[in-house]
Amino acid sequence: MDGVGSFGAGRTGSTIDPIAFAKQPTTILRVLTWIFSLVVFASIVNEGYVNLGSERLHCIFNKNADACNYGVFVGLVGLLASSFFFLVDYKFSSISSVKDRKKAIMLEIGFSGFWTFLFFVSFCFLANQWSRTSPDMLPLNQGADAARAAIAFSFFSIITWAGLTVRAVQKYLLGTDMTLFTTEHMDGGAPSQPYPSNSPGGGTTETTETYQSPPFTENNAAPTYQVPIY
C-alpha cells in the first residue's frame, strides 16, 4: 500500500517520484473520475438545452430542468473534488501529522462513498428522463449524443468513485493496524518479567556464588605420620 507505518507515516518527508505516483492505481482512478465528471458536466452545459421555436431553452431530458441541473451539479463538484484529492494524494507524504493523515483519509472515504451514490442517482435519473423524451421534443435529434454521453459517463463514474472508496478504506484499515502495532510496542511501559521470581515476596533476589575449592587439591594434603613415643 501507500507507505509504511501509521497511515503512511514511514514515508514522511520522502522524495516524490512523479512517474511512480502516476502509475499508482489511486492516481489512475483519480484521473478517470476527473475526465468522466468533465464529460458529464460539459455534455449537459454545451448541448443539454435546446430552443424549440421560442427564446426559452428546454432541457433535453424530457424538458425536466431538474435533470439537467442535477447532472451539472454532480459533474462540476465531482470535477473540483477530483482535482482537490489529486493534490492531497500528491502532497500526502509531506504531511507529518498522523492525525492529519487520518482526517484526510476519512474525508476521502466519506466524500467518495457519497459521490458514488450521487452518480448512481444521476445515472438512474437521467436514463429515466431520457427514456421518456419523445422524438418531437428534439428536432433533428438535437442533443441526443450529449444526452447519451452524460448517461454513459455517469455510469462509468459510479465504478471509478466506488474504486476510490475501496482504495481509501484499504488505506485506512492498513493505517489503523500499523497504529495499533506501534502503540502496543512503544507505549513506554515497563517490560514484563519473562520468568517468575522464586522469592516469596515476588521481588528479585540476587544470588552470590561462593568459590569452593575443588576436591583433591593441594589444600587437602595427606596426613603426616607421627612416630609413637614410648
Which of these ranges, 47-56, 178-187, 212-221, has the smallest mean pLDDT? 178-187
- Domain membership flag for residue 46: yes
Instruction: pLDDT band for 152, please (50, 70, 90 cuts).
Output: very high
Does residue 206 sit within a domain?
no
Does residue 93 carry a pLDDT above 90?
A: no
Query: Is residue 216 very low, low, confident or very high in pLDDT (cuts 50, 70, 90)?
Result: very low
Mean pLDDT, the chain, integer: 79
- Tell me whether residue 186 is in a domain: no
Rounded Cα distance, 120 and 158, in Å: 6
pLDDT at 207: 47
pLDDT at 223 over 70: no
CA distance 75 to 150: 9
Task: List CB contacts of 139: < 8 A, sequence separation 6 or more.
Answer: 50, 52
Burial class from Cβ neighbours inside 10 Å (0-12, 13-18, 19+) for residue 21 reads middle
Please report the pLDDT score of residue 32 as a whole number. 96
pTM, two decimal places: 0.70
Does any domain span residue 124?
Answer: yes
Q: Is residue 18 in some structural domain?
A: no
What is residue 210's predicted lDDT score, i.e. its pLDDT?
A: 53
Rounded CA gap, 150 and 39, in Å?
Answer: 7
Please check whether residue 227 lies inside any domain of the structure: no
In this model, does residue 211 exceed pLDDT 60?
Answer: no
Q: Summarize pLDDT for 17-75 with one digit per residue, the tens.
A: 888 888 999 999 999 999 999 999 999 999 988 887 777 888 999 889 999 999 999 99
Mean pLDDT score, 169-184: 66
pLDDT cut 70: percent of the chain above it = 69
Question: Can you state the percent helix, strand and coil of the chain, rounding each to 5?
Answer: 65, 5, 35
Report whether pLDDT(5) > 80.
no
For the chain, the domain total comes to: 1
Rounded to whole angstroms, the Cα distance separating 32 from 112 reads: 14
Q: Which residues of 140-154 are buried (b: 16+ CB within 10 A; e: fewer)?
A: eeebeebbebbbbbb
Alpha carbon 139 to its chain centroid, in Å, reads 48
Q: What pLDDT is stored for residue 1 in this prediction?
A: 47
Looking at the chain, the whole-number percentage of residues with pLDDT higher than 90 is: 46
Domain contains 160: yes
C-alpha span between 106 and 176 (Å, rounded): 12
Q: How far, in Å, CA of 68 to CA of 59, rounded?
A: 6
Q: How far apart are the first and last CA of the chain?
A: 104
Predicted local distance difference test score (pLDDT) of residue 106:
94
Least confident residue range of 30-34, 140-144, 183-187:
183-187
In a domain, 40, yes or no: yes
pLDDT value at 226 more than 90: no
Q: For residue 59, what are the domain limits?
A: 35-176
